[in-house]
Structure 1
Amino acid sequence: MCFYMQLRFPFKDVEDRFDAEIDDDTAYLQSEDINGFTYPNVPIILNENPKQIRTDYSWGLVPEWSKNTDFRKNTLIGRVESIEEKPTFAEVTHNRCLVISSGFYEWRWLDEKGKNKEKYLIINQESEIFTFAGLYSTWKNPANDEVLNSFCIMTTEANKTMEYIHNYKKRMPIILNKKDENDWLTGKLDFKDITYPKYDTLLYAMQVG
């Protein structure tokens, strides 16, 4: 479901890939093991400024109206089919972003309860550095006025590759084709336009670990 990902390339490669500048290279997260449940700051590009790569947005969306951040483990991802109906996401549907990655991890269940699993790394065959379709939010803590920037990743029904791997829920993150990244940011691509099987990306999966 894309709770674990990697970004193994240095920030200069990412800048070149998107023809954009990073806001703080000392805060850039380069890692082959990024765990969403630690709410890390992952590099993203916002629709309000596509020429800048932001490093101050953490994974796990917190809407503006929230009183706290206790539920963030449930907002690492958002189902694209119902995104406009969910109160958590409804107010940020125009806050488009590109979540930068070089791969993500998923586990194939070998039994009904998932006690035995195979770990896979999934990459985009089109581009070593690719993006997930995301949404972002800015939240102010009512207790101390501290500001928290956050984002989530959109998911859709699994394609043929991911249906084999993510065989218990059959979902996958929405990986944008390179030519569609700007259209996602500008809103030219609607949510229904990036749902599988209407929208698909050529993926490659390898067993790891």
Structure 2
Amino acid sequence: MCYQTKITKQKEEIAERFNVEITALNDYNSMEFCSAFEYPKTPIITNEMPSKVQLFNSGLIPSWSNDNSIRNYTLNARIETLAEKKSFKDVIQNRCLIIADGFYEWQWRTKNGSKKEKYLITLPNQELFAFAGIYTQWADLNNEIYNSYSIITTQANELMSEIHNTKQRMPVILKNQDEQNWLQGKNYKDFAFPYSCNLVATSLENENLGQLGLF
């Protein structure tokens, strides 16, 4: 799963990397540790406005929802069941790029999880990248519009299977050349396992361990 991320680059770096306008990023704040359970606003690019970066909240709230409590369960969306889940099946084509430069995962060192080791997962050189995502708009009882997204997850690759050794899941991190394919509606099944990109895992618990690997 993917619940803790980081986005530490400046908005100008984001604009240059994704070749987009940054007019909507006045309220953008870089974050070394971003917990999805706090439903933060983070930078994304939607297929509806592909030339701009916008700030949406984590935790997709379907348009039919009576309140926002459902977002506790929609932070991630499994790619294998997108077409089956009520929260996601109607917005599969609402594609977005969720911008980050890293995410965190905990490796269970004991069977019961009493001892865990924290890893930071990045691209080489901690470059900016995009998670595959879906998004929607929801109006509350006061007709205030709330924009939100879910990160798409898939089966873990070799590296992430070693780290996320309980559920063995990972977010879909798009290769640069596939970012537009995702936005433009290419079949989502093409991004399921074994789709993956090169990742580096760095232990944050024991500096002597250094980088676990590159796959």
Fold match by TM threshold 0.5? yes
Partner in structure 2 of residue 37 of structure 1: 37
What's the counterpart of residue 201 of structure 2?
Answer: 205
Unaligned regions of 5+ residues in structure 1, if any? none
Q: Distance in 2 between matches of 1:78 and 1:4?
A: 15
The residue identity in structure 1 corresponding to 2:198 is L
CA shift for structure 1 position 147: 1.1
Instruction: Give 1:125 shift.
Output: 2.9
| Alpha carbons 1:6, 1:31 under 8 Å: kept | yes
Query: Displacement, 1:25?
Result: 3.0
Cα deviation for residue 161 of structure 1 reads: 0.5
Deviation at residue 124 of structure 1 after TM alignment: 1.8
1:107 lines up with 2:106 in the alignment:
yes
Figure out how many residues of one structure are paired with residues of the other and give that number.
205
1:155-194 to 2 correspondences below 5 Å: 155-188=153-186, 190-194=187-191
The 5 A counterparts of 1:3-14 are: 3-14=3-14
Query: Could you tell me which residue of structure 2 aligns to residue 15 of structure 1?
Result: 15
Q: Distance in 2 between matches of 1:138 and 1:94?
A: 13
Q: Secondary structure of the residue that 2:104 maps to in structure 1?
A: strand
CA distance in 2, matches of 1:152, 1:125: 25
3-state SS of paired residue (2:196): coil
Alignment partner of 2:151 out of 126, 148, 153:
153
Identity over the aligned pairs, expressed in percent? Answer: 42
Counterpart of 1:195 in structure 2: which amino acid?
Answer: A
- State the 1:73 CA deviation: 1.5
- Contact 1:98–1:131 under 8 Å retained in 2: yes
Deviations 1:72-129 (A, max 9, x none): 1110000000001100001111100000000000000011221110000001238700
Q: For residues 138 and 124 of structure 1, what CA distance do their matches in structure 2 show?
A: 31
Q: Tell me which residue corresponds to 1:133.
A: 132
For the residue of structure 1 that corresponds to 2:203, the secondary structure is strand
Task: Please name the residue that 2:59 is paired with.
Answer: 60
1:64-79 equivalent positions in 2, closer than 5 A: 64-79=63-78
Select between 16-25 and 157-166 the one with higher mean Cα deviation: 16-25
C-alpha distance in 2, partners of 1:206/1:115? 21
- CA RMSD across the alignment: 1.2
Query: How far, CA to CA, are the matches of 1:65 and 1:73 in structure 2?
Result: 16
Q: Where has structure 1 moved over 3 Å in runs of 4 or more?
A: none
Provide the C-alpha distance between the structure 2 equivalents of 1:161 and 1:174, rounded to a whole number of angstroms.
14
Q: Which residue of 2 aligns with 1:27?
A: 27
Give distance in 1, aligned partners of 2:143 and 2:118.
Answer: 41
* Gap change, CA 1:126 and 1:186, over 3 Å in 2: farther
Contact 2:154 / 2:193 at 8 angstroms: preserved in 1? yes
Residues of 2 paired with 1:39 and 1:130: CA distance? 20
